[in-house]
Structure 1
């Protein structure tokens, strides 16, 4: 019985390892979900969720979300691709480098200025070089004066969600000591501080829109 349990444990470990960093898969791109996530239909007609490795694209609600998704759609929608698995994330998606006719699609997104290098996980120097060139040439998201990284956007959203809800009578906005965009929780708050509290430091370019990374 003990031997049987050991065999089962070993097989389970092998299956988990394969799910995280197994062999490459090939298929057709059935959907582009955003600037760094796709759905691939493999040879067995299974739909596989794939997160492009080493990059992080704008989140829904950020200024360049639609442009980033549109760029990836132009590159991949309906195309045949090969996915080089490197990991699996906590959503159960494959994390991998996606190749189309010899083109590293994640690297191309960075070259176009449609995604950041995901510094927490990136290892290929070519990605960092591509991002620096896109930044210097002000391509895509780098055309903005202060592009806001998606990992900070997610962290801010998570922090806001974790805060206790205020009672309605306390929900009336009040001018406080905040002076910087990094202190703003939302675009609405930034607009309030600019228009009602007169915090001009939130409107660096004087166009009437505060904190472009939020609004």
Structure 2
């Protein structure tokens, strides 16, 4: 396995390794040169294992990544020491696949950290999951958050997405 550091505008690093563990629907463990790295998938939020859809989200992430080689583009580290990364397996964006499959929500709070193409792709994938009533897409708000209309500063679907979904149903 190979560890490559890339020097971009920020202190981003790229990791290439094998996925050897799945914590939940948005966190995995990547083995790089015999060292494990905990990776939080950027751009998504998924239910915890004990929450509604949590086990299914974890199982889906496992299906997409476990024992496969992954490339993780990691621009930052969170307060728990996990690398926050866009993860690609076979050239496919794993976070986008989780959203498309209805197993995670697009994390709008951090959308500004994504490219314009990724923002558009994640927004459309979430809308399609909702329109097809897949997984977490069966509810108008993130199924694992239990939030109400008065709660703010969470990765809730925007008003335009909720209206588009309601119009399509």
TM-score range, shorter chain: 0.7 to 0.9
Q: Is the 8 A contact 1:58 1:115 kept in 2?
A: yes
Q: Is the 8 A contact 1:53 1:86 kept in 2?
A: no
Structure 1 unmatched ranges of 5 or more: 1-16, 157-180, 183-215
Q: CA deviation at 1:86?
A: 2.0
User: Any idea what the Cα deviations from partners look like across 1:77-102, whole Å, max 9, x if unmatched?
Assistant: 10100001121100001001000111
Q: How does 1:52-63 map to 2 (within 5 A)?
A: 52-63=41-52
Q: Choose the corresponding residue for 1:92, options 51, 70, 81.
A: 81
Distance 1:147 1:25 in 2: 33
Spell out structure 1 runs of 4+ moving beyond 6 A.
none
Q: Within the alignment, does 1:33 sit opposite 2:23 as a pair? A: yes
Q: Identify, as 1 or 2, the structure richer in strand.
A: 2
Distance 1:52 1:21 in 2: 17
Q: Identify, as 1 or 2, the structure richer in helix.
A: 1
User: Any idea what the Cα deviations from partners look like across 1:51-86, whole Å, max 9, x if unmatched?
Assistant: 000000002321100000000000111010000112
Q: Choose the corresponding residue for 2:121, options 117, 123, 126.
A: 126
Structure 2 unmatched ranges of 5 or more: 1-6, 150-169
Task: Give the TM-score normalised by structure 1.
Answer: 0.58
Greater RCO (Cα-Cα under 8 Å, separation 6 or more): 2
Distance 1:86 1:149, change over 3 A: farther
Tell me the secondary structure at the aligned position of residue 109 of structure 2: coil
Task: Give the TM-score normalised by structure 2.
Answer: 0.73
Q: How many residues align?
A: 137
Equivalent residue, structure 2, for 1:204: none
